[in-house]
Amino acid sequence: MFDLSPAEWTAVALSLRVSIVATLVALPFGIAIGWLLARKDFWGKIVVDGIVYLPLVLPPVVTGYLLLISFGRRGPIGAFFADYLGIVFSFRWTGAALSCGVMGFPLMVRPIRLAIEAIDRRLEDAAATLGAGRFFVFLTITLPLALPGVIAGAVMCFARALGEFGATITFVSNIPGETQTISAAIYTLLQVPDGEVQAGRLVVVAIVLALAALIASEWFARRAGMRFQGE
């Protein structure tokens, strides 16, 4: 049951790579947007707020299609990335990571925003009187105090990325070894006769990975929380 075929291993490894890259690349943006939404009042905040949460409520196919026309090889943003940074998204694993990151982003921003909103800002004032400029206040006070929320957000994004299907298959298709993640592989196997046993193995892998992510998040959040309680 658990000796996966090389093709299945490829899908699992690809899923992990896509999800890890998606989460790591999304994290700085998630922290920045979370901070912005928690702390700043600006014109158009409600629009930014809406755009961030849009992937959560849009049909994933629509998100995938929007990515295709904007980040595809001939899309305005996609062309810029390809010509100036040498990063091609269409039909590549990088595109899968992009769509997974976009889909996971709302789930990442929300806990980060809530954690930053919950911080006692008077502690930041105290840090300023001790000689810390704004950036160092953020780095040494705000970010560490928001850490449980940052970890929770990262794990939610990672878990969402592992499970992403609709936007990814729309944007970068279903190419074994390049864009065929666990979800896409399961979908493909279920389309062929006798594929169910193989699909079943990948289903178990998907469950194990999701559970492991949740347990890891709980453990990290608890450790981070413990640091405030004292020994």
User: Which of residues 40 and 122 has its CB atom nearest to other proteins in the complex?
Assistant: 122
User: Which of residues 133 and 177 has its CB atom nearest to other proteins in the complex?
Assistant: 133
User: Which of residues 59 and 133 has its CB atom nearest to other proteins in the complex?
Assistant: 133
Rounded-to-integer distance, Cα 27 and Cα 97, Å? 13
Rounded-to-integer distance, Cα 86 and Cα 81, Å? 6
Q: How far is the CB of 151 from other proteins (least distance, A)?
A: 14
Q: How far is the CB of 136 from other proteins (least distance, A)?
A: 6
Q: How far is the CB of 148 from other proteins (least distance, A)?
A: 11
Q: Please, which residues have CB within 8 angstroms of residue 173's CB and are 6 or more apart in sequence?
A: 91, 179
Q: How far is the CB of 204 from other proteins (least distance, A)?
A: 39
Q: Which residues bind other proteins (CB under 8 A)?
A: 120, 122-123, 125-133, 136, 140-141, 144-145, 227-231
User: Which of residues 107 and 224 has its CB atom nearest to other proteins in the complex?
Assistant: 224
Q: How far is the CB of 213 from other proteins (least distance, A)?
A: 25
What is the amino acid identity at position 3?
D
User: Which of residues 130 and 207 has its CB atom nearest to other proteins in the complex?
Assistant: 130
**Cβ(217)–Cβ(151) below 8 Å:** yes
Rounded-to-integer distance, Cα 23 and Cα 172, Å? 18
User: Which of residues 74 and 223 has its CB atom nearest to other proteins in the complex?
Assistant: 223
Q: How far is the CB of 129 from other proteins (least distance, A)?
A: 4
Burial of 65-103, coded b for 16+ CB within 10 Å and e otherwise, reads bbbbeebbeebeebeebbeeeeebbbbbbbbbbbbbbbb
Q: Please, which residues have CB within 8 angstroms of residue 55's CB and are 6 or more apart in sequence?
A: 63, 102, 103, 105, 106, 167
